[in-house]
């Protein structure tokens, strides 16, 4: 069992139950899944860069990414139906907890000029999204091997039903939010 999952089971559940005034332990919010995505806009014309993005996402998550394809053609963007427009990996269970632990304790402190996470990225239905401008902040990527930098997004989906419950869960798991946004 991962370190973050043990912490969640031992302390976070009890603390959240008291803080949110939840009677049933099974109703306490928890993380359901983590989805890591990359938009392949820069790689539409360059197949080698697409292969590099796939390898980078595989290194970061430990799983093979799925290609998301365009459902219809959009002439203004040069997109044809069936073209690869994104890559995504869905993490669950142990890999999810390991990834979130690594994200909070290793990756976020490596972000340049990091001031804390914004509280405006909650969707109100239990999800929180973090965008990274550079993929090299992840420890699996060696900056000496990088030819071109690309961004990626991390969406954390929880069982929480409101923005406040999601914030309380992520704060209890150690996510570093900005202080001035919340007050």
Asked if residues 173 and 8 have their Cβ atoms less than 8 Å apart, the reply is yes
Q: Quick one: pLDDT at residue 180?
A: 59
Helix extents (H) in 24-113: 47-61, 93-102, 108-110
**Percent of the chain with pLDDT strictly greater than 90:** 9
Question: What residue ranges define each of the domains in the chain, with the CATH number in brackets?
Answer: 29-182 (3.30.1440.10)
Could you tell me the pTM of the whole model?
Answer: 0.83
Mean pLDDT of the chain: 83
Asked if residues 177 and 50 have their Cβ atoms less than 8 Å apart, the reply is no
The CA-based angle 116-136-1, given to 5 degrees, is 70
**Percent of the chain with pLDDT strictly greater than 70:** 95
For the stretch 66-102, pLDDT in tens is: 988 888 877 777 777 777 778 899 999 999 999 998 8
Rounded Cα distance, 134 and 136, in Å:
5
């Amino acid at each position: 069992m991962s370190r973050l999952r043990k912490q969640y089971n031992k302390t976070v559940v009890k603390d959240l139950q008291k803080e949110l005034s939840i009677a049933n332990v099974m109703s306490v919010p928890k993380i359901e899944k983590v989805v890591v995505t990359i938009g392949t806009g820069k790689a539409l014309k360059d197949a080698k860069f697409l292969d590099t993005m796939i390898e980078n996402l595989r290194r970061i998550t430990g799983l093979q990414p799925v290609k998301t394809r365009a459902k219809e053609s959009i002439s203004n963007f040069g997109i044809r139906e069936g073209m690869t427009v994104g890559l995504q990996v869905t993490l669950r269970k142990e890999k999810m907890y390991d990834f979130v632990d690594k994200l909070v304790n290793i990756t976020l402190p490596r972000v340049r000029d990091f001031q804390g996470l914004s509280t405006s990225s909650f969707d109100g239905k239990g999800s929180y999204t973090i965008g990274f401008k550079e993929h090299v902040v992840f420890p699996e990527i060696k900056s000496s091997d990088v030819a071109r930098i690309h961004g990626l997004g991390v969406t954390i989906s929880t069982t929480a039903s409101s923005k406040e419950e999601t914030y309380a869960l992520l704060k209890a798991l150690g996510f570093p939010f900005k202080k001035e946004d919340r007050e």
